[in-house]
Amino acid sequence: MTNKTLFEPYNLGSLTLSNRIVMAPLTRNRAGPGFVPSDLAAEYYAQRASAGLLISEATQISQQGQGYQDSPGIYSQAQIDGWRKVTTAVHAKGGRIFVQLWHVGRVSHVDLQENGATPVAPSAIRAETKTFVNNAFVDVSDPRALEIDELPGIVNDFRRAAANAVAAGFDGVEVHGANGYLLDQFAKDGANVRADAYGGSIENRARLMLEVTAAVVEEIGAERTGIRLSPVSPANGVSTSDPQAQFEYIVDQLDALGIVYIHVVEGATGGPRDVAPFDFGSLRRRVKNTYIANNGYDLDLATSRLAEDKADLFAFGRPFIANPDLVERLETRAVLAAIDPATIYGGGAAGYTDYPTLAASRS
Ligand code: 8OZ
């Protein structure tokens, strides 16, 4: 047992975070034309800047990597300029912010792809999941398997997006290696039946995720590179036969790259923590730098896990939507506001920037 508290500063690489509470990445589908983050996004993130670290909503590295309507990108100059407004607003409030970089792989739809192209995947297996497009939830499209000679281009898209993130003023990037998107699809044998160097063995299935992370590290430095993993989450229809061995290998290799954090969704994303047997402590013990724990934490669980040294930082997702001042509310054990489910995905200021702080709601 230790006496650390959630509300004390924490050194993440060379950054000093004001507390151990992280805002998890949250998809909000409010980007403007050209998939540029809106001015409202700057206000939204700045309102939440009292988190020790903010992680942005998942942000596509290319049009091919987009899977949902109105999610932002970070591959055009206009997108970089839009994100710069966000990072400037967060830094002005003393906050820190990483951008989460994703390629959705097979979790996409032809209507989101350039000229109606077929979405790409490790193997031509359709995901049992829906996406949000043309203002409706619809089945994802049938994907095609990526050719091996297309993979360096995807690694390079991540590398360029990481450089763009630094140009936009982000403190770092989080590679999205979780939740059934491209890198998780490659890692899991329910989605990857390739017969080449990117399929089959644990090492082969981890290869793309590790190449992407190594490229990001080379581009912007290990101190600015984190990753998110979800070893047992069935999110977006993925499954794998040996998650413990697969993810112990992945974490060992990521740790050897010296990345600043590994962020783990413990259990089913947004669902039960005990969805499948898995020893998360084994991953935590493999991480030299920082382990961020996520999924279903509340103040008491985070406090007890910190005391037991089960994690360094704790990422809260949905509670941040309706509680811009979540850190202060937790610290004072104040009541938490409830989310309006109708305004989570898409729309404007309603349900985005209009949730009041506790102080404002009392005045
Ligand atoms: C909810 C809706 C759409 C996308 C994830 C980026 O699960 C997401 C996501 C969550 O990681």
Average pLDDT by stretches of 10, the chain with 363 residues: 86 98 98 97 98 98 98 98 98 98 98 98 98 93 98 98 99 98 98 98 98 99 98 98 98 98 97 95 98 97 97 98 98 97 96 96 78
Q: Is residue 161 part of a domain?
A: yes
Q: Is residue 357 part of a domain?
A: yes
| Atom 5 of ligand 1: nearest residue by CA position | 179
pLDDT confidence of residue 362:
79
Q: Is residue 3 part of a domain?
A: no
pLDDT confidence of residue 127:
98
Q: Is residue 5 part of a domain?
A: no
CB 53 within 8 A of CB 22: yes
CA 162 to chain CA centroid, Å, is 14
| Atom 10 of ligand 1: nearest residue by CA position | 27
Task: Tell me how far the alpha carbon of residue 4 lies from the centroid of ligand 1, in angstroms.
Answer: 32
Active-site residue, 181 included? yes
CB 53 within 8 A of CB 16: no
Distance CA 205, CA 193 (A): 9
Count of the separate structural domains present in the chain:
1
Distance CA 63, CA 75 (A): 8
Distance CA 109, CA 355 (A): 32
| Ligand 1 atom showing the smallest separation from residue 68 Cα | 3
Sequence-distant (6+) residues with CB within 8 A of 284 are: 264, 291, 293, 310, 311
Domain that holds residue 58: 10-362
Q: Is residue 129 part of a domain?
A: yes
Is this prediction's pTM over 0.95? Answer: yes
pLDDT confidence of residue 1:
54
Task: Tell me how far the alpha carbon of residue 181 lies from the centroid of ligand 1, in angstroms.
Answer: 9
Q: What is the CATH number of the domain that holds 293?
A: 3.20.20.70
Task: Tell me how far the alpha carbon of residue 3 lies from the centroid of ligand 1, in angstroms.
Answer: 34
Q: Give the binding-site residues of ligand 1, using a 6 Å CB cut-off.
A: 27, 58, 68, 179, 235, 269
Q: Is residue 112 part of a domain?
A: yes
From 23, 27, 66, 70, the mutation candidate for ligand 1 (largest count of ligand atoms within 8 A of CB) is: 27
| Ligand 1 atom showing the smallest separation from residue 57 Cα | 6
Q: Is residue 80 part of a domain?
A: yes
| Ligand 1 atom showing the smallest separation from residue 228 Cα | 11
Q: Is residue 29 part of a domain?
A: yes
